[in-house]
Chain A
Amino acid sequence: MAEPLLVVQDLSVGYVQGDGSVIRAVEDISFTLNRGETLGLCGESGCGKSTLVYGLLRTLAAPGAVLGGSVMLDGHDLLAMHDEGLRKLRWKTASIVPQSALNALNPVLTIRAHVRDTLVAHGEFSRDVAERRGAELLRMVDIDPVHLASYPHELSGGMRQRVALALALLFEPPLIVMDEPTTALDVVVERSILRRVRELQERLGFAMLFITHDLALLMELATRIGVMYAGRMTEIAPVAAFRGGGMHPYTHGLFGAIPPAIGEDRIPTSIRGNAANIAAPPSGCRFHPRCDHAIASCSVDVPALTRCAPNHTVACPIVTGTDA
């Protein structure tokens, strides 16, 4: 039986402008992440996928702010917690593997110091423990423990990303957020890291929220995929449901835009127009100006996520047949 780890209800996150107005970058998002599961969040730049995740972990820097909703992580109400409680929870219950490990690692500290600092911040002061744990973690991600003495600049891009992964595993948290962890890497390195991530996930049982714009990659990695457009969730379903291209017209468009690397000789097509401006989003369904199936009501009514199959919800009245 799937046990929920993270339950997000009607979460809205935004950015407060200088004049006091608010850009609502994430609107009314609800989803559940079960233990040990991988939910892929996918969408174009500016769709709010990173804002959503940093907002729900309350790691969003000002002027970003959570505007409403609730987030329950492992029984803790994250949005109601005090800073100190939250500080203790972070890294132990949820950790992040950031996009650019070079920027996430401190250039003047060795990898050993990164491990020690993190342990000390959570009350573990023993040098021996740090040494042992550091070596163990580096081995887990296929790096020779001699690199505990290395500085970030001495490592290749792939190795830095492995170190970031190792640090995220330090307390073996039940949730790890991966924010485009392999976007800066080439395909061969990307693949070997993701294979290792999957092995570790099977061994340690953590759940992942995996942010990427690479839908083809998620098809291989995720258990379920959530597709976002202009701050709203447009479709969430198990990976199998996306094999046929998904249900939402935007999902269709995204799949159509990926040229096939091998196999079929399909001619890829792009979605017309440009990604919606989040500061002044279109009315109704935010995708309607780019949608080939749009009808008059699409520019007026905000579509709700509607169940169209078990575990499969889509926010489009045309495909779910609820526009009457």
Chain B
Amino acid sequence: MSPPLLHVSDLSVTFDTGGGLRPKKLHALSGLTLTVDRGEIMAIVGESGSGKSTFAKMLLRLLQPTAGKILLDGDDVLKRERRASKAYRKRVQMVFQDPFGSLNPVHTVGHHVERPLAVHHIVPKAQRRARVLELLDQVGLRPADAYIDKLPQDLSGGQRQRVAIARALAPDPDLLVADEPTSMLDVSIRMDVLRLLERLRHERGVAIVLITHDLAAARYLADHIAVLYAGKLMEVAPADELAKHPRHPYSQLLVAAAPKPGGTLDAELPARPGLPPNVDPPPGCPFAERCLVVHEACVTPLPEHVLAPGHLVRCHALSASMQRNSNQ
């Protein structure tokens, strides 16, 4: 069996913070293990401080993990190369959150999309313009020749994000990392961009890691949703399953907090208030101090319960209830 496209294991990043001579350790990501298959869309959700953007930076090799492995096609990339090679960058591309900041205002649309083709020597110079037009067409900027010579300022937010996606696709990557690709866009056009990503996955088989705090978007687009809290994986599940039957108490909190037409603010949130304990975190479950079903086992390392293929829950309360059920 061929290895999955991306497998990260025990990925951790800690930063020293404050404290002068005895700095505290900020755990941005601790022991993340996750697999993304070819052509799969994996959404990473969690609140601020959950480590989702840190994970994106590590996949792009903008940040060196403190520990752990990144396997691309089974190849241990961190071991082989300290800094990301051009070959790695060609295979893993990024779509940034802010299409107003990620495009250079003095360069045309065509220039942005052509750069990766030139840098990675993908298309001979004479044919580049044709290839750029093709890419623009693929991301729905039609007719492409009306867009190729425009400057970012001439485009709307949605159109700019399409240019950013075309640029990311230019080197024909296997994995696209999209960090909140629609949060800066107007509500009425967000779906267009999500649907474009979905179409590109079908047409080109590109896998996507979608970083978002919008559970609704994750549910719509992703095959699987991974829930992070304070840098630790809490639950991974098929997207619809996670939205409908979240099993981890933190996933349940995220689902309960998502705004929904017809809902009210009256419903009590199923958690105590608190912040992710990233600095010198306590052992065991980081969510324990906010959790309503916390018990004494929660200070011990997180368990791993595989409830179904592709559905992993790391929660001691679940261990206890499974124990009870099996005793009955």
Residue numbers of A with Cβ under 8 A of B are 44-45, 142, 156-157, 185-192, 194-195, 198, 213-217, 219-221, 242-243, 253-255, 257-263, 265, 268-271, 274-275
Contacts and interface: CB of A to CB of B under 8 A. Distances in A.
A259 B191 contact: yes
A110 B260 CA distance: 37
Contacts of B67: none
Nearest to A214: B259
Contacts of B255: 261-262
Contact of B188 (A263, A265, A275): A275
A274 B154 CA distance: 13
15 contacts: A44-B186, A187-B47, A187-B215, A188-B271, A213-B186, A215-B187, A217-B259, A253-B188, A257-B187, A257-B188, A259-B191, A261-B259, A269-B191, A270-B192, A271-B189
A268 B191 contact: yes
A244 to B, nearest CB: 10
B226 to A, nearest CB: 16
Interface stretch (B3-11, B111-119, B164-172, B261-269): B261-269
What range describes how many residues of B lie at the interface? 35 or more
A255 to B, nearest CB: 7
Nearest to A44: B186
Contact of B269 (A192, A257, A262): A192
Sorted nearest first, the 9 A-B pairs with minimum C-beta distance are A261-B258, A186-B47, A270-B191, A261-B216, A216-B259, A44-B186, A271-B188, A259-B220, A187-B257
B261 A259 contact: no
Nearest to A184: B48
A260 B260 contact: yes
Interface string B115-126: 000000000000
A274 B189 contact: yes
B275 interface: yes
B262 A219 contact: yes
Contact of A257 (B191, B243, B261): B191
A5 to B, nearest CB: 22
Given A187-B257, A260-B216, A268-B220, A157 B48 contact: yes
A258 B216 CA distance: 8
Given A221-B265, A274-B158, A263 B260 contact: yes
Interface in B8-49: 47-48
B101 interface: no
Given A188-B253, A213-B186, A261 B260 contact: yes
Given A186-B213, A188-B271, A274-B156, A258 B187 contact: yes
Given A186-B47, A258-B216, A191 B262 contact: no
Contacts of B265: 191, 194-195, 198, 220-221
> Main secondary structure on chain B at its contact with chain A?
helix
Contacts of A275: 156, 186, 188-189
Contact of A261 (B187, B189, B215): B215
A261 B219 contact: yes
A191 to B, nearest CB: 5
Interface string B251-290: 0011101111111110001010101000000000000000
B144 interface: no
Contacts of A217: 259
Contacts of A198: 265
A254 B30 CA distance: 39
B80 interface: no
A186 B254 CA distance: 10
Nearest to B195: A270
Contacts of B156: 274-275
B217 A259 contact: yes
Contacts of A185: 48
A259 B260 contact: no
B188 A259 contact: no
Contacts of A274: 156, 158-159, 189
Contacts of A188: 47, 253-254, 257, 269, 271
B190 interface: yes
A289 to B, nearest CB: 13
B79 interface: no
B47 A189 contact: yes
B324 interface: no
B244 interface: yes
Contacts of B244: 262-263
Contacts of A268: 191, 220
A44 B158 CA distance: 13
Nearest to B50: A186
Nearest to B256: A191
Interface string B234-246: 0000001001100
Interface in B294-316: none
Contacts of B48: 157, 185-186, 189
B259 A219 contact: yes
A269 B189 CA distance: 9
Contacts of A255: 261
Given A188-B47, A261-B216, A274-B156, A44 B257 contact: no
Contacts of A156: 275
Given A192-B273, A215-B187, A259-B220, A187 B213 contact: yes
Given A185-B48, A243-B261, 17 more contacts: A45-B157, A186-B47, A186-B48, A187-B215, A187-B257, A188-B257, A191-B269, A195-B265, A213-B186, A216-B261, A219-B260, A220-B263, A257-B191, A259-B219, A262-B260, A269-B191, A270-B195
